[in-house]
Structure 1
Amino acid sequence: MTAQFGCQHCTASLLGKKYVLKNDSPCCVSCYDRIFSNCCEACKEPIESDCKDLCYKGWHWHEGCFRCTKCYHSLVEKPFAAKDERLLCTECYSNECSSKCFRCKRTIMPGSRKMEFKGNYWHETCFMCEYCRQPIGTKPLISKESGNYCVPCFEKEFAQYCNFCKKVITSGGITFLDQLWHKECFLCSGCRKELCEEEFTSRDDYPFCLDCYNHLYAKKCAACAKPITGLNGAKFICFQDRQWHSECFNCGKCSISLVDEGFLTQNMEIFCRKCGSGVNSDN
């Protein structure tokens, strides 16, 4: 007698019936659907043995449920992308998730090359020099409010040249006597240190740091012998080829300030009128 050919789960005879092999053992359709069917991510119903089971990253769908979650068009045998556990056709993904071109405002489609600069994105063909209209690609560029420029076009259209090194100033710079310098080229004419972050003055149209100017050219105060620069609005007094800081212009005897006051002199000394009269009477 022939052994009974039955389902491994319910033992029902499978002779002349449709069945499924699971782990090399026969299983009736009813048991297979009840025990082994995957649940569809869209409709939450089991994907039975007579249906096609579409799988992506451990998720399962009926063939008819495998659709874009935004436009509901079928994704079967079509390209798609996943966003936050949602499946989207390429068009919906692009409209929702892809960057927009800074120039043409159109979507930069997934898989196409895009250029990024200062937090914005361009199609490769839209990222062009504003002057020659040629794509910049990865070549050096200079950016202005009016757009981006390749270096040769920028030099033709906008470039200003350093008065010291004669090279192009691409950004920043120092203006002195209507001429331009790179910050690193604007140097003291005495000690050659950079002046871009320093106080400075000039002599015969040459810039000097305060130390060099004071050492080389500044008059010395007749009282304290320190340089008189006149910088930052500092006042000084001149009298008979001598100079004083305003705070140093004091009576040589009582030390009272003589600024805007009458005074007397004797030899190289200055005195207030009261002290000067006493000095003259002593003589």
Structure 2
Amino acid sequence: MTTVQFDCQYCTVSLLGKKYVLKDDNPYCVSCYDHIFSNYCEECKEPIESDSKDLCYKDRHWHEGCFKCTKCNHSLVEKPFAAKDERLLCTDCYSNECSSRCFHCKKTIMPGSRKMEFKGNYWHETCFVCEHCRQPIGTKPLISKESGNYCVLCFEKQFAHYCNFCKKVITSGGVTFHDQLWHKECFLCSGCRKELCEEEFMSRDDYPFCLDCYHHLFAKKCAACSKSITGLRGAKFICFQDRQWHSECFNCGKCSVSLVGEGFLTQNNEIFCRKCGSEAATDIK
């Protein structure tokens, strides 16, 4: 009678009547199998032998007793878990450590639940509501104030100002002129109709004008150089009777010395310093 040979593939010891493990259809004694093929546990760094349960996640292995939350140390066997920076965490620890907190109720926004983000803060979808009507805003347009976020309809009812020109709501920004509001794009020169929000302008009879239009339409002219006298940026000018001069133009008509702050004489439409005025009067005699 022929005896069937049944040996360990690695050490060739007979496996007849002994416990063995098949690997790729080849038999191995338990000792050789554990030595050659065992994975090493991520937690305790010991081999996971054939008589132990090997738990695997993303090519990493644990003994059943080592498969625990790295923060609270509770077992994760057959329980939901999440990974953070190569660490395994139970859902409670993951939520406390990694999940956002609702800006309104301060509670954790659980992984997988819908959250709303606005200005760097997060809300539960049910907490992100209009401050006035308390209805969820969702992805609808909103307007934000210090007191909270508002749907457009409630904002217009509660706070909106209306443009003096187009009569439509001003939702943000705007220009105030004589206690009235304009959209920036509606605040125009009353002469040429160009936008004034980024321009210097002047007022006449409660109407705004750009500098060019104001100078052309209303500014008085210097009696010496005939250019407009605006008085802008603290510019000084001289008035005498019905005539005006730029301060730098208020000079003697003969010797050109400045007459600002000085006594002067007039003859016809000319102005003179006292010396030149006296000479001119003598010449006339």
Which TM-score band applies after superposition, normalised by the shorter structure? over 0.9
Give the equivalent residue in structure 2 for 1:191: 192
Q: Percent identity?
A: 86
Residue 97 (structure 2) pairs with residue 96 (structure 1): yes
Q: Matches of 2:128 and 2:278 in 1, distance apart?
A: 85
Q: Matches of 1:2 and 1:152 in 2, distance apart?
A: 93
Give the equivalent residue in structure 2 for 1:148: 149
Residue 87 (structure 2) pairs with residue 86 (structure 1): yes
Deviation at 1:266? Answer: 1.5
Q: Matches of 1:250 and 1:26 in 2, distance apart?
A: 120
Give the equivalent residue in structure 1 for 2:249: 248
Q: Which moved more, 1:46-55 or 1:256-265?
A: 256-265
Superposed counterparts of 1:113-132, under 5 Å? 113-132=114-133
Q: State the Cα RMSD in Å.
A: 1.0
Give the equivalent residue in structure 2 for 1:9: 10
TM, length-normalised to structure 2? 0.97
Q: Matches of 2:109 and 2:206 in 1, distance apart?
A: 55
Consecutive unaligned residues in structure 1, runs of 5 or more: none
Deviation by residue 1:151-209 (Cα, 9 ceiling, x = unmatched): 00000110011111111111111100000011111111111111111110011111000
Consecutive unaligned residues in structure 2, runs of 5 or more: none
Residue 285 (structure 2) pairs with residue 281 (structure 1): no
Q: Which moved more, 1:246-255 or 1:89-98?
A: 246-255
AA in 2 matched with 1:9: Y
Give the equivalent residue in structure 2 for 1:173: 174
Q: Matches of 1:165 and 1:235 in 2, distance apart?
A: 38
SS of the residue corresponding to residue 6 of structure 2 reads: coil
Deviation by residue 1:220-246 (Cα, 9 ceiling, x = unmatched): 111111101122232221223111111
Give the equivalent residue in structure 2 for 1:46: 47
AA in 2 matched with 1:229: T
AA in 1 matched with 2:18: K
TM, length-normalised to structure 1? 0.98
Give the equivalent residue in structure 2 for 1:31: 32
Count matched residues.
283
Deviation by residue 1:134-156 (Cα, 9 ceiling, x = unmatched): 11100000001111111000001
